[in-house]
């Protein structure tokens, strides 16, 4: 078994880090054609009684990505004593998901939604809660078919039965309001039974805790409500390994893989719990991700040792692992044909 590598900052140059102020939304200008990376990693000073759930809501980040970017930091109490501070990494740099940059793209493996407005060269990105084991979120393409402010919730029979079994019976209809699990707004998808909606609990954002729908922080779903029209295309993918180019350098962004189990997507285990064989499988999957990018596979070189360390660390932070062969070469690297 391999132990997890030290904190994510080991893999980040000083230039890649900046000290964070308050963030109202993760909005980025689209990179030039042929480039794929947006944002910058940030570092904040966590205060006593901060938690990753609180910080995630403030900085538009999900619980799982905060955990991955800060190995060894207590998620519920990063600072143990009043008057002390702890550095916390905010993973606010992203390799854009593969495929066409239009409409909404949901990447289940990173618990994150990307929105590419039709009339602007920007991208918005928001953390999501997705379906838990036994209640999987789907993969596929669909559209926004309806928008509903202040929705009521009619629990399906399956969910009512589950709650009744656990001694928590549900009413036939939950009215709009602070106790409604759909939050202040919902988007209906063309996939029957699936929604993008707000929430009455912030702790499920960035994890697999829903009954298959996509949960957002309420402030985020309201921001989406003002921007996203009915008819917007939605593409749902499961891509734990993202590779992209920025400034002639190749970046790799890895997330804990989700595998299909009984029709639902479940986490397969953190690197610290993975065997050498399992890590090799993930490494090979990373190399295959390069081959899935015909625009990249003939033009980039990968440092395999760096790629292996990224696989072992799995911080969810884009990490430099190679370069475009048209850029100046500083060292000899293995080529991925």
In a domain, 278, yes or no: yes
Closest-CA residue to 279 (of 261, 301, 254): 254
Q: Is 18 known to be catalytic?
A: no
Report the SS3 class of residue 232. Answer: coil
Q: Is 163 known to be catalytic?
A: no
Closest-CA residue to 209 (of 127, 318, 288, 141): 127
Report the SS3 class of residue 222. Answer: helix
Query: In the beta sheet, which residues pair with residue 107?
Result: 112, 237
Q: Verify that 208 and 247 share a domain, yes or no.
A: no
> In total, how many domains does the chain have?
2
In a domain, 19, yes or no: no
Which helix (H) or strand (E) segment is 329 a member of? Answer: none
Per-residue pLDDT of the chain (337 residues; tens, 9 = 90+): 233 333 343 344 333 445 444 344 699 999 998 899 999 999 999 999 999 999 999 999 999 999 999 999 999 999 999 989 999 999 999 999 999 999 999 999 999 999 999 999 999 999 999 875 545 678 899 999 999 999 988 777 777 777 777 777 776 777 888 888 899 999 999 998 899 999 987 778 988 765 568 999 999 999 999 999 999 999 999 999 999 999 999 999 999 887 654 444 555 455 556 788 888 888 998 888 887 777 777 788 889 999 999 999 999 999 999 987 755 444 333 433 3
In a domain, 309, yes or no: yes
In a domain, 54, yes or no: no
pTM of the model: 0.84
Q: Of 18, 197, 211, 255, which is the active-site residue?
A: 197
Q: Of 18, 163, 213, 255, which is the active-site residue?
A: 213
* Residue-range definition of the domain harbouring residue 305: 241-324
Tokens 């890649």 sit at which residue?
A: 16
In a domain, 51, yes or no: no
Tokens 């008057």 sit at which residue?
A: 83
């Amino acid at each position: 078994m391999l132990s997890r590598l030290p904190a994510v900052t080991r893999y980040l140059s000083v230039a890649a880090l900046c000290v964070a102020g308050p963030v109202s939304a993760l909005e980025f200008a689209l990179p030039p054609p042929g480039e794929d990376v947006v944002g910058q990693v940030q570092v904040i000073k966590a205060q006593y009684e901060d938690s990753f759930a609180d910080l995630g809501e403030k900085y538009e980040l999900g619980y799982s990505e905060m955990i991955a970017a800060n190995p060894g930091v207590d998620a519920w109490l990063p600072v143990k004593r009043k008057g002390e501070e702890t550095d916390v990494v905010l993973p606010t740099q992203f390799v854009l998901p593969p495929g066409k940059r239009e409409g909404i793209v949901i990447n289940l493996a990173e618990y994150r939604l990307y929105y590419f407005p039709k009339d602007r060269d920007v991208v918005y990105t928001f953390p999501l809660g997705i379906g838990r084991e036994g209640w999987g979120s789907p993969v596929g393409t669909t559209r926004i078919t309806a928008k509903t402010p202040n929705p009521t919730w009619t629990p399906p029979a399956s969910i009512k039965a589950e709650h009744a079994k656990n001694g928590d019976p549900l009413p036939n209809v939950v009215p709009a309001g602070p106790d409604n699990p759909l939050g202040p707004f919902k988007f209906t998808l063309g996939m029957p039974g699936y929604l993008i909606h707000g929430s009455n609990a912030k702790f499920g954002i960035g994890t697999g805790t829903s009954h298959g729908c996509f949960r957002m922080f309420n402030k985020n779903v309201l921001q989406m409500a003002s921007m996203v029209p009915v008819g917007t295309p939605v593409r749902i993918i499961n891509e734990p390994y993202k590779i992209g180019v920025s400034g002639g350098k190749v970046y790799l962004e890895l997330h804990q893989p989700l595998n299909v189990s009984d029709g639902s997507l479940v986490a397969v285990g953190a690197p610290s719990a993975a065997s050498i064989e399992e890590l090799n499988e993930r490494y090979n999957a990373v190399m295959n991700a390069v081959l899935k990018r015909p625009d990249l596979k003939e033009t980039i070189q990968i440092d395999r040792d760096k790629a292996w360390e990224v696989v072992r660390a799995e911080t969810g932070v884009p990490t430099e692992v190679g370069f475009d062969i048209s850029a100046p070469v500083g060292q000899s690297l293995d080529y991925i044909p």
